[in-house]
Amino acid sequence: MQRARPVVDWPTDGIPCVRPNLGVIWIPAMAGLNYFLPEAAMPWPGEPLSRAAILEARVEQIVTSETMRLAEGFYAMHHDSGEEQIVPYHADTQGVFDIAHLLYGEELFYDLPNPDCESWIRELLDISRAFYTQATLHIKDLLGEPAVSMIHGHGTSQGVFFPTAGGRSSEDTVTLISPDMIERVVLPQISKTAETLGGIFAHFCGKHPTLLEQLCRMDMVRAVDLGNPEYYDTRAVMETCAATGTVLHSRIAAMPGETWQAYARRLATLVRETGARVILRPLVAPHSRDECRAMLQFWHENT
């Protein structure tokens, strides 16, 4: 709340917002995964579960889990605060494949290419998707938010309204598998998730240009975010997004020593030249209110 209050009247297109910050263990912990709390760091997963433990986990336990109670407590505190100008939003969610990896550990990558494990992998991903969907819909119901749309801040204090996407999917460890395996194993799960939630806002860290293209080609992926924009050619990313109609809602890498004026001018030029739709979370930002207002006005006028 202390981070969100200063942006309530800040010159920006963002929506002031907050969410419970439970890290990558948010959904896996509900399914029975142990976790620990490193000093001054995010919650971190403990030892992965066995096949038997994963198969024994039930979707019904999601809404009664300790982790869900923590999130519900956060939303209750926000409601009681009366902060109507700051919107609560859904906790950040790992995607189906990431949840499967967190639950099952590195054995996932050994079982993936094994023909004898094909049915197990399909079952593991279906279970992970059920956990993801149940947790997401429960929080949406708690917030009074439609299944097929959302406000999401992606870990920041300024969010965006997504009218045709009701879920966020972070697939970081998908970058460790091949494009062919992504096509066969991961994309069908994203499609099924998107059918329930009207569309997906997709995020991933690391470098995997093919994954970016594969996500952008999916009609139900409405927007993408790059965790490491410095690994990509900015023009190529915008061209991919423009060609597929995908919104680039992302930080975008800066050039060494670039001022916010030069940064905004360079990116605005790329937006005009490529035709990309971009919601910019700048990596070079002005410090004063007047400068921020000037940057916002420049962005509007030039994009």
In this predicted model, what pLDDT tens digit does every residue of 244-262 receive, in sequence order?
Answer: 999 999 999 999 999 999 9
In a domain, 274, yes or no: no
Supply the pLDDT for residue 241: 98
The 3-class SS string of the chain reads CCCCHHHCCCCCCCEEEECCCCHHHCCHHHHCCCEECCCCCCCEECCCCCHHHHHHCCHHHCCCCHHHHHHHHHHHHHHHHCCCCCEECCCCCECHHHHHHHHHCCHHHHHCCCHHHHHHHHHHHHHHHHHHHHHHHHHHHHHCCCCCCEEECCCCCEEEEECCCCEEEECCHHHHCCHHHHHHHHHHHHHHHHHHHCCEEEEECCCCHHHHHHHHHCCCEEEEEECCHHHCCHHHHHHHHHHHCCEEEECCCCCCCCCHHHHHHHHHHHHHHHCCCEEECCCCCCCCHHHHHHHHHHHHHHC
In a domain, 70, yes or no: yes
Model pTM score? 0.96
In a domain, 287, yes or no: no
Q: Whole-angstrom Cα distance, residue 100 to residue 106?
A: 10
Report the percentage of the chain scoring pLDDT > 90.
94
Tokens linked to 191: 């499609």
Supply the pLDDT for residue 3: 86
Domain ranges, residue 199: 5-227
In a domain, 198, yes or no: yes
pLDDT band at 120 (very low <50, low <70, confident <90, very high): very high
Supply the pLDDT for residue 114: 97
Tokens linked to 228: 């490491």
In a domain, 266, yes or no: no
In a domain, 285, yes or no: no
Supply the pLDDT for residue 148: 98
In a domain, 237, yes or no: no
Average pLDDT over residues 99-122: 97
Supply the pLDDT for residue 70: 94
The string of pLDDT tens digits covering residues 144-161 is 999 999 999 999 999 999
Supply the pLDDT for residue 287: 87
Going by their DSSP bridges, the two strands 44-45 and 35-36 should be labelled as antiparallel
Supply the pLDDT for residue 127: 97
Mean pLDDT of the chain: 96
Q: What is the CATH number of the domain that holds 153?
A: 3.20.20.210
Supply the pLDDT for residue 1: 86
Domain count, the chain: 1
Q: Whole-angstrom Cα distance, residue 10 to residue 16?
A: 9
In a domain, 286, yes or no: no
With beta carbons less than 8 A apart as the criterion, state whether 85 and 16 touch.
Answer: yes
The string of pLDDT tens digits covering residues 193-223 is 999 999 999 999 999 999 999 999 999 999 9
Supply the pLDDT for residue 2: 87
Supply the pLDDT for residue 26: 94
Average pLDDT over residues 4-32: 93
